[in-house]
Amino acid sequence: MNPPLLAVRDLQVRRGEALVIDGVSFELEAGCDTALIGPNGAGKSTLVQALLGLLPHHGGVIELLGHPLSRSGRLPAAIRDQVAYLPQKLQLDGRFPLAVEEFVRLGCSPCCNQRTAVPAVLDRLQVRHLRRRLLSELSGGELQRVLLAFCTVHPRRLLVFDEPRTGLDPQAAEQFHELLQQLRREQGLTIMQITHDLQMVRRSCDWVLCLNRRLCCQGPPQQTLSRDELERLFGGDFVLYEHNHHHFR
């Protein structure tokens, strides 16, 4: 049996004096698509940032690709280079004239052949026609595809997203989803994503982590997205509504 790509045991993370993540344990198997769901303020973004070493953790163990993450978040460069992170919000200064092709080139590793890798990923993500456009000129859907190109211009093993479909219209969100799943199939990527799109989770994800400071449950969608589990996670007054996708508020 292959070792997990990511293993977390009894993780604790504090923000100031507040214990935001408490006793969280789980594993990510290589090639899986894992959704992280929970109410607002549950600690989802904090958990992801701690797993990537962007925030220190105060207890427990994180092992990424078999290497322990130090409390301060240090990992060997060769390990960190196999992981890409797309935050929920990326602030772009419109005064900084960076074109799409130039931006994607910044994602290349030292061993990456930029002359072949950059055009290939622009074609794969269907954004080559945008290569000379400034980032500040892109629509939300175009920008998300360019960011995905940046993340995958050289081979990665783990992609981590914080609500990647936020602010996209339904067509752009579906296109992004299809491109992401295509990359997963072709490259064997492991995906972890914070999301509120439970219809997408039911359709595509292999595993679900239900977080509200602690893990309330984890398992396949058919188990974790039952009404009983969702009421336990979100509280008895959660509202299910339909707007092309299912969401919880």
Give the number of other CB atoms < 10 A from CB of residue 130: 22
> What pTM was estimated for this model as a whole?
0.89
Contact 208, 185 (CB under 8 A): no
242 and 128 in a common domain: no
pLDDT tens for the chain, 249 residues long, are: 688 999 999 999 999 889 999 999 999 999 999 999 999 999 999 999 999 999 999 999 999 999 999 988 888 888 889 999 988 766 666 666 889 999 999 998 888 889 999 999 999 999 999 999 999 889 888 998 999 999 999 989 999 999 888 778 888 888 888 988 988 998 899 999 999 999 999 999 999 999 999 999 999 999 999 989 998 998 865 655 333 344 444
Contacts of 147 (CB under 8 A, 6+ apart): 86, 90
How many domains does the structure of the chain reveal? 2
Which residue among 136, 151, 166 closes a domain? 151
Q: Is residue 1 in a domain?
A: no
116 and 238 in a common domain: no
pLDDT at 249: 40
236 and 174 in a common domain: yes
Q: Is residue 46 in a domain?
A: yes
Which residue among 103, 125, 151 closes a domain? 151
DSSP 134: B
Which residue among 151, 170, 205 closes a domain? 151
Give the number of other CB atoms < 10 A from CB of residue 91: 5
202 and 104 in a common domain: no
Residue 191: domain span: 6-82+156-248
134 and 12 in a common domain: no
72 and 160 in a common domain: yes
74 and 183 in a common domain: yes
pLDDT at 153: 93
For residues 61, 75, 87 and 102, what is the CA-based torsion angle, rounded to 10 degrees? -170
Return the exposure string of 154-178: e unless at least 16 CB atoms fall within 10 Å of the residue's CB, then b: bebbbbbbbbbbeebeeebbbbbbe
Q: Is residue 20 in a domain?
A: yes
